[in-house]
Amino acid sequence: MSILFEIDGAVATITLNRPEKFNAATPAMSRAIVEATQECDRNDDIRCVIITGAGPKAFCAGSDVEALDDYATPWDFRNRVDYCDAIHKLRKPSIAAVNGHALGGGLETALSCDIRIASSNAKFAAPEIKLGWIGGGGMAAFLAHSIGASNAALMLMTGDPIDAQRALGWGLVSEVIEPDALMDRARALAETIAARAPIAAETAKRNLTAAFSMPLEEAMAYERDLQTICFTTQDALEGRAAFKEKRAPVFRRK
C-alpha cells in the first residue's frame, strides 16, 4: 500500500508508505492521498490530521522522478492529480510530522500542512533546480510566507538542504523533537487541537488563509465576520457555559 490511513479517536494519520524509495510519490500514491483527505473531510469524527512518512530516513522525497516520464504530454503533467493540493485543501487542521528528509514535493507536502514539527535528523530542500525545473506545488509562495523572501530564494536558487535547527530558526518548523519522540509529540498536539471546538478550529484555518491572501483591512473585516459566525454556534454557547460553571466544555460540532 502506497499510504497507510489510520483513525484513532478524533485523529487521523496519513503515512506515506514507500520507505524503500524515501516515500517518493507516484501517481497512485497521489490518488490515495486525495482519497484519504476526502475521507478526513467527510468524517465529522475526525478533527485533526497528521501527515508523516514511513521509516526512519525520509518524510517524503517528492515525486518519484522515474515516474515523471510516464506523462504523455506536458499538459497531462500540468493537470496531474497533486498530493500537495489535496493536503493544502484539507478542511481539518493538519500537522506535518517530518521524520527525515523532506525534499521537493516532500517539502511542499510539509508546507501544505498548518503546523510542522520535525525530528532532529530532518533535512529540507527544494532541489528541483538541480534537475532543471522548479517546484509546482506552491513551493515559492509557501516558502516566502514561512521563511521570508531571502531565505526562500536561497533554498530555491541553490537547491541545497538545510537542517532541522536552521529550519527552526527560520520559522519553517515550530518544534524540533528527537526522532523516537516525534510521533508521540504529533499525537499529543493533534489531540489538543481535536479537543478544541471543531468549527472554530476549521474557521481559524480558513482565517489564516485569508490573512495571507487579502489586504489587511479586508482580512480584518473577514475575521470579524468569521468570529460572528462562530459566536452563534452551539459549541460557543457550550464554551461560555463551561467557563461560567468552571468545567471542561463538551464540543459537538454544532
Which residues fall within 8 angstroms of residue 10, CB to CB, at 6 or more apart? 45, 46, 47, 48, 191, 194, 195
Q: What per-residue confidence (pLDDT) applies to 59?
A: 97
Specify the CATH number for 3-194; select among 3.40.50.300, 3.30.460.20, 3.30.70.1050, 3.90.226.10.
Answer: 3.90.226.10
Buried (b) or exposed (e) across 178-214, using 16+ Cβ within 10 A?
eeeebbebbbebbeebbebbbbbbbbbbebeebeeee
Q: What per-residue confidence (pLDDT) applies to 71?
A: 67
Please give the mean pLDDT across all residues of the chain: 93
Please tell me which residue in 128, 217, 238, 245 is annotated as part of the active site. 128
Each residue's pLDDT tens digit, 83-138: 899 999 999 999 999 999 999 999 999 999 999 999 999 999 999 999 998 988 89
Residues of the chain with CATH 1.10.12: 198-245
> Is residue 35 among the annotated active site residues?
no
Which cell numbers hold the place of 215? 489586504
Please tell me which residue in 108, 175, 178, 217 is annotated as part of the active site. 108
Segments of the chain with pLDDT less than 50: none
Q: Looking at the chain, how many residues does it have?
A: 254
Q: Which long-range contacts (CB under 8 A, 24 or more apart) does 211-219 make?
A: 212/145
Which cell numbers hold the place of 28? 497512485
Q: What per-residue confidence (pLDDT) applies to 207?
A: 95
**3-state DSSP call for residue 241?**
helix
Q: What per-residue confidence (pLDDT) applies to 227?
A: 95
Specify the CATH number for 198-245; select among 2.60.40, 1.10.287, 3.30.1300, 1.10.12.
Answer: 1.10.12
Please state whether beta strands 162-163 and 123-125 pair in parallel, antiparallel, or not at all (unpaired).
antiparallel
